[in-house]
Amino acid sequence: MTSYGEPRVWLEEFPLGQAVPFYCDHLGLRYQGEVIRADRWLPAWGEPLGQDAFFRIILLQQRGRQQAPKIQDSRIALCIPATGLSRRRSQYSNEMATIRETLGAYRIQRDTEGELIRTTLQRRLEETEEQLWGEESVRFSQGQIITNSSQKPDPAAVFAGLTPEPWFSRLAGSLLAGAYPDLPIDGNALPRPVTSADPPELFREIFSQPGSGASLVSQLGPGLSLTAAQLSDPPEFPSSNVAILIRNRLARLSSPVQWSLVHNYLSHEAGLTGQLAILYLLLYIHHEQPRMEVRLGAGHQMMLADGSPLLGTRLTADLIPYLKWDDEIGRWANTIGPVTEPEWNDALLYLSVLCPGLTPIAEGKAVEDQEASLLRNKAEFEVRLSQATNFLRSLRMSATDHEAEGPGNAVGRLAKISGNDSASIFRSIKRAYQNHQDLAADITALDRLTRLSDRKDDILSAQVYLDHAAVPLAMPELSIQHQALQEAISPGPLLRSPRGWEGLAPEITRFKSQYALAYRDHHGDIHRSLAAYLRDLAAARRKMNAHSLLNALPELGEPTGGGLFEKLGQIDPGPSPCQADSAVIDLEATPICPSCHLSLDWTIPSGDLARLASAIDGVLEDKNRRLSNLLVERVLEGNNDQRLNDFIAIVQASDLSALSNTLNEDLLAFIRQLLV
């Protein structure tokens, strides 16, 4: 009857005799504790807290006669009600029980009268429950709060009000404030309390694991001193408050140190929550110099972020970024200490990349057979490495090409792998690689290189073809295709592309087909127009020669046309005449006609020649006009030489073409004599 007569919150949220989780925010962290309502005290409740409980509140229903409880943790509070106030509480409790039983009887009644009775009873139940809460508040506010701290919480302040959640929040806050007056984080920089769900996501974001973002690090990182763990180089985390706490604690204990001792210190002594303590310890192992490791128990179930098991029993700095977060790491982690020599299973994460057939071995089992397999595979690896090196040389690349992640660097790093047993091979790998994923990426690049080297001749001929196939921008579709293929077949992109040569070869074949159609049309057009262009170019050259001869006569004034002769010399005469049939030119092996070597991007510079010819005509016409005037004067003086008469006719007609065809050194000498 008494239990049935308790308030609904007691019944539903804080059942008698059960430890109920309760949360309280303090200095930017959300702590988990527990609330226990009980009839009598149990000594185990006074023992030091551990695991996830950071405070414990016990409410005894009756004061009773018992010895003073032994409380060993300042975060534990025992609340005992005042004496002499139980009669009224019993009265309210019995009344509530009776009302609930009566309500149960009327719940099946669906008429108007039944509804009225239920409403009346429900209202009375709420009034009685409020009266009972008042009684509870008075009982505990006039009672006693027992802790092992010299400063006891004030019961009247704690148990004010008629609802229990604020009671527990106030009391939990008081316990946490006494235990953790300050924390090694900046709670003022946190926009909200850090919960147990945050450290796993922060871990994934800090190490950019698949599916993570960056919003939580930017939001909570500054207050937790975690932003620097990801963004700064060199990292600032080793100088943070928490890292210093860990370093000092490890220095005071004999190495290797039990993981549980350091974790318990960070959480229950320094005031970090359990999940945050795990996060900080993993970051410490990742950043600390000299390097440290976590030794795991045999049979652990730790995983990597990609879903594969963590092999071996060492958790080292290089593995932390690829570790899958596990709330239960404390179950597997034994000790923290300096890095030790790896055993076969510890090295297997790297060795199995080099030789995929390797497997873990049970403790005490021999490794000779697997080590022999590793050495055989390494010999094959060295052959492939030599083949890849020769292929890179044929592509005019080296192990020091300028791409930081280029294939040349991959080969250069892989070439550093050496040794004649598993231990020496592993040590050489670790000298060359910071993590196993970089090694796996380079092995993948090596596999691509060896596959591509089998098609070396095809690749090199395609590179030469594209290099010599000049495509003008005036053909945008073909030009874009040409540029894209040149980029795709260049060493870096080709070796990084998962498509490889097999995916690129059909595109090159299509380009050659489209290029050949465009080239044959272009070849025919050029050679149909070339003869007329060459005639115009020859005429311009003759006029320029005639002008040069006339410039030699001082009587015609200062020399003119400076620079025209040089510009005329720069005019491209184009390809040699070609008799090849444009429709049948073979362009499979080379992108130009083997007879005339015409380029697809060459066009007849008709506009340039026309402008230059007009300028030549201008200066030649000026010289011609001056010469005409002088020659007429000499005729009037009585010179009847027939050559002079014929030449005067040309000059006076301003026939520049005839002038350029007629004027030569002999005629110029004759004119010079006339002008003397």
- Note the pLDDT tens digit of each residue in 479-488: 999 999 999 9
Q: How much is the pLDDT for 652?
A: 65
The answer to the question of residue 495 being in a domain is no
pLDDT tens sequence across 389-426: 888 888 765 334 444 345 678 889 999 999 999 999 99
331-366 pLDDT per residue, tens: 999 999 999 999 999 999 999 999 998 998 887 677
Q: Which residue has the higher pLDDT, 61 or 156?
A: 156
pLDDT of residue 492: 77
State whether residue 337 is helix, strand or coil: strand
Render pLDDT for 157-197 as a digit per residue (tens, 0 to 9).
999 988 899 999 999 999 999 999 999 999 999 999 999 99
Does the pLDDT of residue 55 top 80, yes or no? yes
pLDDT tens digits along 267-308: 999 999 999 999 999 999 999 999 999 999 988 999 999 999
Domain co-membership, 254 together with 336: yes
> Residue 404's pLDDT is what?
38
Q: What is the pLDDT of residue 227?
A: 72
Higher pLDDT, 658 or 334: 334
Closest residue by Cα to residue 392 from 405, 377, 409: 409
Indicate the residue among 148, 179, 210 that finishes a domain: 179
- Amino acid symbol at 228: A
Residue 637 within any structural domain of the chain: no
- The reported pLDDT for the residue numbered 267 is 95
Closest CA relative to residue 549, chosen from 661, 449, 386, 423: 661
Q: Are residues 36 and 119 in the same domain?
A: yes
pLDDT at 676: 65
| In a shared domain, residues 85 and 174 | yes
Task: Identify whether 665 is part of a domain.
Answer: no
Tens digit of each residue's pLDDT (9 = 90 or more) over 542-567: 988 988 888 888 888 888 888 888 89
Look at residue 565 in the predicted model and tell me its pLDDT.
85
Q: Give yes or no: residues 165 and 197 share one domain.
A: no
The per-residue pLDDT for 41 is 92
Q: What is the pLDDT of residues 208-262, one digit of tens each?
A: 898 888 789 999 999 998 875 555 566 778 889 999 999 999 999 999 999 999 9
| Domain end call among 179, 205, 232 | 179
Question: CA of 29: how far to CAs of 173, 174, 204, 206, 223, in Å?
Answer: 12, 15, 20, 20, 11
What 3-state DSSP class applies to 384? Answer: helix
* Residue 276 within a domain: yes
DSSP labels for 565-625?
HHHHHHS---SPP--S-GGG---SS-SS-TTT---TT----HHHHHHHHHHHHHHHHHHHH
Residue 246 lies in a domain: yes
Confidence of residue 67 (pLDDT cuts 50, 70, 90): low
CA angle 370, 376, 380 (to 5 degrees): 140
- Could you tell me the two tokens for 122? 């429900």
* Residues paired with residue 144 on neighbouring β-strands, in sequence order: 80
9, pLDDT greater than 80: no
Domain annotation covers residue 671? no
Strand order in the sheet with 257-258: 257-258, 333-338, 292-296, 314-316
Which percentage of the chain shows pLDDT scores above 70? Answer: 89
The region, left, alpha or beta by phi > 0 then psi within -120 to 50, assigned to residue 377 is alpha
Residues 30 and 89 in one domain: yes
Q: How confident is the model at residue 377 (pLDDT cuts 50, 70, 90)?
A: very high
Instruction: Look at the chain and report how many structural domains it folds into.
Output: 3
Q: Does residue 113 carry a pLDDT above 70?
A: no
581 alpha carbon, distance to own chain's centre: 55
| CA–CA dist 584, 273 (Å, integer) | 81
Q: What is the mean pLDDT of residues 560-580?
A: 88
| Whether residue 301 is found in the same domain as residue 394 | no
- Pair (312, 210) in one structural domain: yes
Q: Are 530 and 604 in contact (CB under 8 A)?
A: yes
Residue 475: pLDDT over 90:
yes
Residue 647 vs residue 378, higher pLDDT: 378
Structural domain that includes position 321: 187-340
Report the distance separating Cα 531 and Cα 639, nearest Å: 43
Residue bearing the bigger pLDDT, 51 or 416:
416
What is the C-alpha separation between 523 and 431, in angstroms, rounded? 59
Q: What length does the chain have? A: 676
Q: Does residue 131 sit in the same domain as residue 48?
A: yes
167, 314: one domain = no
Whole-number Å distance between alpha carbons of 112 and 89:
34
The reported pLDDT for the residue numbered 644 is 64
The pLDDT value given to residue 13: 85
| Residue 203 shares a structural domain with residue 130 | no
Banded model confidence at residue 658, pLDDT cuts 50, 70, 90: confident
Tell which residue, 199, 200, 279, 295, has the closest CA to residue 246.
279
Among residues 436, 454, 472, the one where a domain terminates is: 454
- Whether 75 and 199 map to the same domain: the answer is no
Predicted local distance difference test score (pLDDT) of residue 1: 40
Whole-angstrom distance between the N-terminal and C-terminal Cα of the chain? 149
Contact indicator for 17, 45 with CB cutoff of 8 Å = no
Residue at 380 is within a domain: yes
164 alpha carbon, distance to own chain's centre: 49
The answer to the question of residue 650 being in a domain is: no
Residues 227 and 324 in one domain: yes
Rounded-to-integer distance, Cα 278 and Cα 199, Å: 8
Average pLDDT over residues 445-467: 90
For residue 662, pLDDT beyond 80: no
Average pLDDT, the chain: 86
pLDDT(373) > 90? yes
* Of 438, 453, 450, nearest in space to 405 by CA: 438
Say if residue 670 is exposed, middle or buried (CB neighbours under 10 Å; 0-12, 13-18, 19+): middle
